[in-house]
Amino acid sequence: MEDEYLLKIWNSNDHEADDFLVLDVNSFESEQLNKAKLKLRSLLLPKIIGIVLGLGWMSFMALLIYYCLIASPTSAGKVFFVTSLGLILLDTGFIVFLYVRDFITIVQIDNRETVTVTQQKLAELQLSIIKSVRISWLQLPFYTTWYLNSDMFVNWNISFWTVQIIVTGLTFWFAVWAFRNINYKNLEKKRVRNFMQGYGFNSVTQAMDFMKEIDDFKNVSEGNQS
């Protein structure tokens, strides 16, 4: 029956055939957009969890900094503590901001928008995920410095400081490596793509592939009409 219907459309006048192709393209667009939205919905819960945990962590650190500033005397330990937690707080705050923006972008993607607008939002979402991953690792070294105090400098312990320098040095090296290498132009590198798998990057990439298939389908349809 379907073959007979298609044959009838093919043998009909050009106007009817064009109408059929338009309906077919619209149907394909809707189907691909629904697939893309399904992929993106899987990111909503992780984003919500990230926002809630991030705000909770920021509140805890802000409370620690506040009590440290008002209750403890000025010392090297206080400087290390406040500076380390302060930088972690700022870094976490920026990541939470990106998560909120990503959440809004995902929710805003719907069937009423053009394919071009949806593709633009997906590209922005992809870049935002890359940015949040790069920035998140910058705080890593400061988790190895917040506890340093005056006694550690006065009562020198070579074993402790050997481990401290190695750990802080490695975390600093990794933070710099992540910030420099995790970017759009390095996505073709396998180690970078594997590193991004746990951040929802693949879901956005697959959603973008669904949108690209719409362009390919349109090109084929336009070629058949000409």
pLDDT tens, position by position, 153-185 = 888 889 999 999 999 999 999 999 999 988 888
Backbone angles phi, psi at 125, to 5 degrees: -65, -40
Model confidence at 23: pLDDT above 80: no
Residue with the two structure tokens 């064009």: 18
- pLDDT tens, residue by residue, 70-102: 987 888 889 999 999 999 999 999 999 999 999
| Owning domain of residue 138 | 32-202
Is 23 within the bounds of a domain? Answer: no
Task: Give the whole-angstrom CA distance, residue 132 versus residue 106.
Answer: 16
3-state secondary structure of 12: coil
- Domain assignment present for 7: no
The answer to whether residue 115 sits within a structural domain is yes
Is 197 part of any domain? yes
In-domain check, residue 1: no
Residue 12, in any domain of the structure: no
User: What are 25-31's contacts with CB under 8 Å, separation 24+?
Assistant: 25/217, 25/218, 25/221, 28/214, 28/217, 29/115, 29/214, 30/111
Alpha carbon distance 217, 28 (integer Å):
8
